[in-house]
């Protein structure tokens, strides 16, 4: 795949992202790739000494805000090209144009642009407790805030209420927006919201999530400190971690 223009440096020098997915590192263990917690690192022969490629979610907190933005942009745009090689209108092969920020179909003339899927992620509270859930396949003890895609025709507030009701059987009243985070796994924009539950009754949909539970501030604090006997802390660098940490500190307003 041709390189993608990410932008320009302050001095005007162009910044490109390159696709090297055809390179196969020596001694690679395929079973470790794409696992939930991919701990592998690959050293390309052209990399400077002491540097390696690593899974972005594992190292995001070690990146500066600028480098994290560059990495997220490159991953999202490359992922879009990989999954949109054919025209969505007529099905013919399309081609990359405009330095990677557009695809053109020579068969029907359609123009296609990188897409982002909005996802709501919800800090749902009731008194001194927050609603936490876990999906099948997550590491044992991992819980996070409930989340789901915004559907066509929905407002963000409606998506929050629908997702919480579908997944946990909890009705939500007031909803407000808090913060957002691009999440290129593969192409989401996480919309962090706060909602007030109308009750603590839970009735999970096993097709949606594996478990849901109310957790007090004290329990979340213990999880963040690595002292909870059943629950791991939310993944550092993710918007769920940010929302929970600010809820603990009473800094959401």
Residue 176, pLDDT score: 96
Residue 186, pLDDT score: 86
Residue 25, pLDDT score: 83
Residue 40, pLDDT score: 81
pTM above 0.75, yes or no: yes
pLDDT tens for each residue of 116-160: 999 999 999 999 999 999 998 888 899 999 999 999 999 999 999
Residue 59, pLDDT score: 84
- Cα dist. 30→24, 34, 35, 37, 206 in Å? 10, 9, 10, 14, 30
Q: Which ranges of the chain have pLDDT less than 70?
A: 32-36
Residue 118, pLDDT score: 96
Q: Which domains does the chain have, with CATH numbers?
A: 4-83 (no CATH), 117-248 (3.90.79.10)
Residue 24, pLDDT score: 83
Residue 32, pLDDT score: 67
- CB-based contacts of 219: which residues, under 8 Å, 6+ apart? 228, 231
């Amino acid at each position: 795949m041709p390189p993608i223009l990410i932008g320009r440096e302050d001095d005007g020098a162009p910044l490109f992202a390159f696709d090297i997915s055809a390179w196969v590192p020596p001694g690679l263990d395929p079973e470790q790739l794409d696992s939930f917690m991919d701990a592998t690192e690959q050293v390309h022969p052209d990399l400077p000494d002491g540097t390696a490629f690593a899974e972005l979610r594992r190292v995001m907190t070690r990146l500066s805000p600028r480098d994290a933005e560059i990495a997220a942009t490159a991953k999202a745009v490359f992922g879009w090209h990989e999954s949109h090689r054919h025209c969505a209108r007529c099905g013919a092969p399309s081609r990359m144009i405009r330095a990677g920020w557009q695809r053109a179909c020579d068969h029907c003339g359609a123009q296609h642009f990188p897409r982002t899927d909005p996802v709501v992620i919800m800090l749902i509270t009731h008194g001194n407790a927050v609603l936490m859930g876990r999906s099948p396949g997550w590491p044992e003890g991992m819980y996070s805030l409930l989340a789901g895609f915004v559907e066509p025709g929905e407002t963000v507030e409606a998506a929050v209420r629908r997702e919480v009701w579908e997944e946990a059987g909890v009705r939500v009243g007031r909803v407000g927006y808090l913060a957002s985070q691009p999440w290129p796994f593969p192409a989401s924009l996480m919309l962090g919201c706060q909602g007030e539950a109308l009750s603590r009754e839970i009735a999970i949909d096993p097709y949606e999530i594996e478990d849901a539970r109310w957790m007090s501030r004290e329990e979340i604090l213990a999880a963040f400190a690595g002292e909870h006997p059943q629950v791991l802390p939310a993944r550092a660098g993710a918007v769920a971690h940010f929302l929970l940490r600010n809820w603990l500190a009473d800094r959401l307003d």
